[in-house]
Structure 1
Amino acid sequence: MKPILRVVSLPVLTVVALAMLFTPSAGAQGPQNISVVLIIDNSGSMARTDPAGLRFVAASQLVDLLEDGDEISVVLFADDSAVLVSLTKVTDAASKEAIRAKLTPVAPAGNTHMRAGLEVGLAELEKGSNSVRFGIFLTDGELHPPDWPSLTAQEQEAERTAVLALADGFGERKWGLFPVSLASAVEPEFLQRLAENGGGLYREATEAGQLTLVFQEVFAANKLDVFEILFSDCLAPGDERSVTFPVHQFVSTLSLFV
């Protein structure tokens, strides 16, 4: 979406466009400390959808955006779950480097045990000290814990209900769960329900190279309340200028200040 603004100057003015983000903490004035958990699918199918391990690169690059006081945890899930990075507060550049050092790719294997990943991710966020907390939940497949084919229809439905209840846990705490599908999601409707229950948004990455951007977009939507969007310019008296610029999809209100 590209709005066009027509700016007419009377005195010499500096024009600045600001975008107000729709976030769980709308109303705050500027960046705030956050606690985030990355819950990353590491099942066997990831060898096909992300053979280069770009999900780990995306996680590492997200660390670069953290400020002192922010907290991050990284959880992997397949047949079970494992904490790759326990919730850690960023205090300086050295603390970021220590986090990045733990984000080396782990060989994908096993099933897609979403409940195991969400349980541990929720527990990691419980340790957080910041009021703004959220989870990014990456998967390339459908709900498929170990022994899934041998479960009865009732047992499979109970598993789905348990996973949705964990998403409720994010939503009830007003933390936000942001499911991200990689490649063609097998069950996009289920991931959408996770987002709705978790108070977040469902995102899609058509290929692994998009994960860095998607992770950073979700991060920005939760981290920032007001940010300068694109342009600052001086106009002479009587000047007119049309300005075209893109608006981030998380922006809900655009205000022009002169």
Structure 2
Amino acid sequence: MTFLWPWMLLGLAVVPLLAGLYALAQRRRPKYAARFTNLDLLANVVEASPNWRRHLPPALYLLAIAAVVFTLARPQLVTKTPRQEGTVVLVTDVSGSMNATDVAPTRMAAAQEAAHTLVDRLPKDFRISLISFSSGVNVLVPPTTEKEQVHAAIDRLAPLGGTAMGDALATAVDVVRAALEQQPAGTNADGTPATPAPIRGEGEAAPAVIVLLSDGAQTVGTYQPLDAAQLAADAGVPVYAIALGTPDGIAVVTDPQGRQRTVRVPPDFETLQAIAEVTGGRAFEAPGASQLESIYRDLGDRIGYVEERTEVSWAAAGLAGVLVLAGGALGLLWFNRFP
């Protein structure tokens, strides 16, 4: 719950103040009762002590005052509503370094498990695409609402080769444009290729996002990562970039001569952070499987749902009225007075 005028909540300080004054008044009651010296006659006049009942109406009035303060603060409930449609392109590193075991059981296995989580959390009408990259780039699943196809492709991912991060990101932008039917519009008057229009206007929510996971620096490819990131920025597609692994991670990789070598494979968070900044997305570090799972779960909520705020001042006002009526009714019933 949030409040449109939260400073009004300072008025709640009056509730304990009034409660203290009421307690002080109750402590003074025995002094007045002692003036009635004929205790035998007093016992005949008062049939029974009201005990806790005499405190209930004032307590209800205090709660009503608190409810009025909440009303003045204009409380709002925040609810998450599934987006009606959208496209998410998962771009996943499957280079040889994904065999590293610094993320248990391996970086690859952790990435697969987290990807399943993200797919499951997205609304059913979202289109999802899966792209893998190592020394080359493969569009394993074009955008589809059939989640089972995506899950099956995720299970088939296997690490091997280098890291063509830039080419993968450029391919993802092409996939987004094709999915949203926003292809380049010919050439300019001077014969140069025309810059395609962004797929969203300024201030609009992105109809598509790219989720890029990588565990190392680029080693091969035509596009440099930041050049590809500019393509995404020009298209209006934010990139959420995740750096998987720890700086001390090591992996057994096969070099171009076919020999196996053990090498350090730290993630390149700086490049991924720059990609996110250029495209208006966000970068994350995932040194472990639990952190990666949490990131993908959060991304599922961030991408697939929109927060809506509904003012509920009427509920607090209604509660205040009910409390006042209840306190008054009990006062009349038990003590023949209101309030």
Q: Does 1:221 align with 2:297?
A: no
Other-structure match for 2:244: 182
SS at match of 1:62: helix
SS at match of 2:236: coil
Other-structure match for 2:32: none
Q: Does 1:74 align with 2:126?
A: no
The more displaced of 47-56 and 195-204 is 47-56
Structure 1 distance, partners of 2:226, 2:84, is 29
Residue 135 of structure 1 is aligned with which of 189, 202, 210?
210
Q: Does 1:145 align with 2:220?
A: yes
CA gap 1:209/1:30 in 2 versus in 1, 3 angstroms: closer
CA gap 1:204/1:227 in 2 versus in 1, 3 angstroms: farther
Task: Report the CA distance between 1:179 and its aligned residue.
Answer: 1.0
1:134-170: CA deviation from partner (whole Å, max 9, x where unpaired): 1011011112127xxxxxxxxxxxx6x7321211111
SS at match of 1:226: strand
Structure 1 distance, partners of 2:241, 2:159, is 19
SS at match of 2:96: coil
Structure 1: runs of 5+ lacking an equivalent = 21-28, 147-158, 240-258
Task: Report the CA distance between 1:38 and its aligned residue.
Answer: 0.7
Cα pair 1:87 1:127 within 8 Å, conserved? no
Other-structure match for 2:143: 87
Structure 2: runs of 5+ lacking an equivalent = 13-65, 181-198, 200-205, 247-265, 324-339
Give 2:210's aligned amino acid.
G
Other-structure match for 1:36: 88
Cα pair 1:37 1:73 within 8 Å, conserved? yes
Task: Report the CA distance between 1:115 and its aligned residue.
Answer: 1.8
Query: Identity rate of aligned residues, in percent?
Result: 24
SS at match of 1:73: strand
Larger radius of gyration: 2
Structure 1 distance, partners of 2:301, 2:232, is 18
Cα pair 1:75 1:82 within 8 Å, conserved? yes
Structure 1 distance, partners of 2:76, 2:116, is 32
Q: Does 1:212 align with 2:293?
A: yes
Task: Report the CA distance between 1:227 and its aligned residue.
Answer: 4.6
Other-structure match for 2:225: 163
RMSD: 3.6
Q: Does 1:109 align with 2:160?
A: yes
Structure 1 distance, partners of 2:137, 2:97, is 16
Higher RCO (C-alpha under 8 Å, 6+ residues apart): 1
SS at match of 2:276: helix
Moved over 6 A (4+): 11-14
Cα pair 1:74 1:84 within 8 Å, conserved? yes
Normalising by structure 1, we get a TM-score of 0.68
Task: Report the CA distance between 1:211 and its aligned residue.
Answer: 2.1
Task: Report the CA distance between 1:192 and its aligned residue.
Answer: 1.5
Cα pair 1:170 1:199 within 8 Å, conserved? no
CA gap 1:228/1:204 in 2 versus in 1, 3 angstroms: farther
1:191-241: CA deviation from partner (whole Å, max 9, x where unpaired): 211111122111111213322321232232233331579xxxx875399xx
Cα pair 2:130 2:150 within 8 Å, conserved? no
Kindly tell me the number of residue pairs found equivalent between the two proteins: 210
